[in-house]
Structure 1
Amino acid sequence: MRSAAYRFGSLLCLASCLVVAACVTINVYFPAAAAEKAADKIIDDIWGGEGAPPAKNDDKRSALPERSGDVLLAAAHSVLNLLVPTAEAAQADLNVSTPAVRQLTQSMEERHARLKKYYDSGAVGLTSDGLVEIRDQNLVPLPERNSVRKLVADENADRANLYREIANANGHPEWEMDIRTTFAERWSSKAAAGWYYQDKSGAWKQK
């Protein structure tokens, strides 16, 4: 009897720890899946869906092995199954619909019509920090070089402001770098065939 009571007390203690851990996770951790979803939506709006389709991300949680007679592990598994969906639901989406985000997205969409041919030629590429860069100015006709420099500078200003605005709009300015990193990965992943992008080491690669 005493053993059963002890095991029940241990179970309650474990469940309490899991609840506290789940709450900390909700409040602290950057919602990477929601950020990817938001980045894909914005990139599709800007590029008009002309890039590569997003890679499939199968979100399969590994099952916790249950051993016969192990009541604590089985109970912990059940508690986790209840808590994890709750945490994910609380951060299902990031707010990317503020007037500032919409204005920046529209500005970048209009500019893309002029930048696209430089992506296509390889003159301009996507950098590993979520910006764009003139990769080879020799591929830009001399009379167009000043205008391309301005296009790149304006695009980078809008991108930096976009990452900052999304972080601030969601009440977490400290997420700005994580958002920038997420966008950098999604820009490269969704780039059209033939476009250049930098890998994490900064080396240029062609899709």
Structure 2
Amino acid sequence: MRKFPRIALVALVVALVGCVTINVYFPEAAAQKAADQFIGTVLDGSGQKAPAAADKGAPARDNPPPAQQPSAMLLDLLVPAARAADVPNLRVQTPAVQAIHDRMRARFQSSLQALLDSGAVGFTRDGMVAMRDAAKVPLSARAQANAVVADENRDRAALYREIANANNHPEWEAQIRATFAQTWIEHARSGWYYQGASGAWQRK
């Protein structure tokens, strides 16, 4: 009986690879963990570094895998990304994220915390901050307060974009922003203001 030509086997495997659908799902749990760590260190000072990447390691094997046929081994070599894509990691620790973290932490300590405590500024539902009641800021300090809000929002937008780009998935930016938006509100201290789902201001 004639053996199946090796070149035909390779062609078959390549054809199979072309049929593989790679579904990369947004790692919501990893994003939530990263947001908790990042925001916690900015607002609570529980650490001075942005969080390391939230990795999901492969499950440990108690027994060695069974022997595979050459065709199966070749398929494994050609489509590892298709298998790994179902459980993506989330890379958070980058120089750009660390720089944003340090600026936000310093800004919170020097000025933003006081604005939040007074009720002048609150957390918005889209992961930003906004001037809620300018009357709570002395007229002579309003320009500076508005500059603080603008600088904070600039860094927040850059943060969400940088995390998405660092993971080679710029399309994740909106989901990262949404995760952080909810987490900022969860970390808000008693007395701070935030926007509910309708956009109305609420006090925590």
Contact 2:127–2:156, Cα closer than 8 Å, also in 1: yes
Segments of 5+ residues of structure 1 without an aligned counterpart are: 1-19, 51-85
**One-letter amino acid of the structure 1 residue matched with residue 162 of structure 2:** E
Report the Cα distance in structure 2 between the residues aligned to 1:90 and 1:45, rounded to whole angstroms: 27
Q: How does 1:132-151 map to 2 (within 5 A)?
A: 132-151=129-148
Aligned to 1:95: 91
1:32 Cα deviation after fit: 0.9
Q: Which moved more, 1:40-49 or 1:197-206?
A: 40-49
Report the Cα distance in structure 1 between the residues aligned to 2:84 and 2:126, rounded to whole angstroms: 29
1:95 Cα deviation after fit: 1.1
1:172 to 146, 165, 169: 169
**One-letter amino acid of the structure 1 residue matched with residue 201 of structure 2:** W
1:181 to 178, 181, 185: 178
1:28 Cα deviation after fit: 2.6
Segments of 5+ residues of structure 2 without an aligned counterpart are: 1-19, 47-82
Report the Cα distance in structure 2 between the residues aligned to 1:30 and 1:199, rounded to whole angstroms: 24
Contact 2:194–2:203, Cα closer than 8 Å, also in 1: yes
**One-letter amino acid of the structure 1 residue matched with residue 28 of structure 2:** A
Helix, strand or coil at the partner of 2:199: coil
1:77-135 superposed Cα distances (whole Å, 9 cap, x missing partner): xxxxxxxxx979943x5211100000011011110011101101110000000000000
| Root mean square deviation of aligned Cα | 2.0
TM-score scaled by structure 2? Answer: 0.68
Size of the aligned set, in residue pairs, is: 148
Q: 1:189 to 1:49 in 2, by over 3 A?
A: farther
Aligned to 2:149: 152
TM-score scaled by structure 1? Answer: 0.67
Q: 1:175 to 1:191 in 2, by over 3 A?
A: same
Aligned to 2:74: none
Q: Deviating runs (4+, > 3 A) in structure 1?
A: 86-91
Aligned to 2:105: 109
2:25 to 21, 29, 49: 29
Q: 1:121 to 1:153 in 2, by over 3 A?
A: same
Aligned to 1:83: none
Identity %: 54
